Amino acid sequence: MTNLTNLGFLKGAIMETIVSTYNANEQPNAAPMGIKTEDMKHIVIQPYTSSMTYANLQSKRCAVINVTSNPELYYRTAFKEANPGGRTPLEWFEKVETVDAPGLRMADAFVEVSVLDIKSLGAERAEVSCDVQLIKTSSFLPKVYCRATFATIESIIHATRVKLFLAGDRQKQEQARRLIELIEHYNAIVNRIAPNSRYSAIMADLTQRINSWKDES
C-alpha cells in the first residue's frame, strides 16, 4: 500500500506540493503550498489567512495534496492570470474518491485529506492539521533529472512571496530584494541549461511579472 514515505516525504521537512480545494461556488482552486508531516499519517498546511485555499479549508474541511515535479503545473496554479481567461483550466481537475475536493489530472499522486483542526499562527498565517484519507498514484515512466526543473520551481515558489513583500515595510522589501536576486540566479541557470524551452519561457514571463511589481511598488 502506498504511503507518504513511498512518495518521498520526510518527517518534519517542508515538501512542495499543490493544494487543491473547491471554492464556495464549487469552482476548483489550486495553489502551490509547502506542507509537512511529523508522523507520516497526518499533514500540516500553513496557508496565508488571506488566501482562497485557507477560506476553502475552513468551509469544506478537506483538500487534495497534489504531488508533482511539473513546473508548468506550479506556475499556472500560482499565477492564474498566466492562463487563458485568468483561471486554471477546468479540464485540469477531476473528482477524487474520499473527499469533496478536486485533484489535478496531471499530478503524479493524490493525497486526499480531511481537516482535523485549524489554529491561528498570528495575523497572516494559520496551521491546518489534516488526516490522510487516501493516497493514489499514477503509473508513469521515470524521468531524467534536469537542473532547470528545480530552478524553475524554486523561482515560482519565491515569486509567490515577492509581490506581497514588495508592498510591505522596509524589512519585507529587503526580503523581496533577496528573493529577486535568487530568482535572477536561477534564471541564469535555466537559460544556460535549457535555452528555448518551456522552462526558459516560464522564467521569462516570471521576470516580466516581477519587473511590473517593482514598478508598481
List the one residue out of 81, 96, 74, 116 whose CA is nearest residue 28: 96
Mean pLDDT of 155-167: 94
pLDDT beyond 90 at 142 = no
Measured N-to-C along each axis, helices 147-166 and 198-216 cross at an angle, to the nearest 10 degrees, of: 10
Mean pLDDT of 186-198: 94
Concatenated DSSP letters of 71-109? HHHHHHHH-GGGSGGGS--GGGEEE-SSSSSEEETT-SE
Residue 52 has a pLDDT of 96
Q: Which residue reads 518521498 in cell numbers?
A: 8
DSSP three-state, residue 20: strand
pLDDT beyond 70 at 143 = no
Q: How confident is the model at residue 10 (pLDDT cuts 50, 70, 90)?
A: confident
pLDDT tens across 65-119, in order? 999 989 999 999 999 999 989 889 999 999 999 999 999 999 999 999 999 999 9
Distance in angstroms (rounded) separating the CA atoms of residues 89 and 114: 25
Q: Which residues pair with 15 in a beta bridge?
A: 35
Q: Return mean pLDDT, the chain.
A: 93
DSSP three-state, residue 50: coil
Is residue 11 within 8 A of residue 85, CB to CB? The reply is no
pLDDT tens across 124-136, in order? 999 999 999 999 9
pLDDT beyond 90 at 138 = no
pLDDT beyond 80 at 139 = no
pTM: 0.84
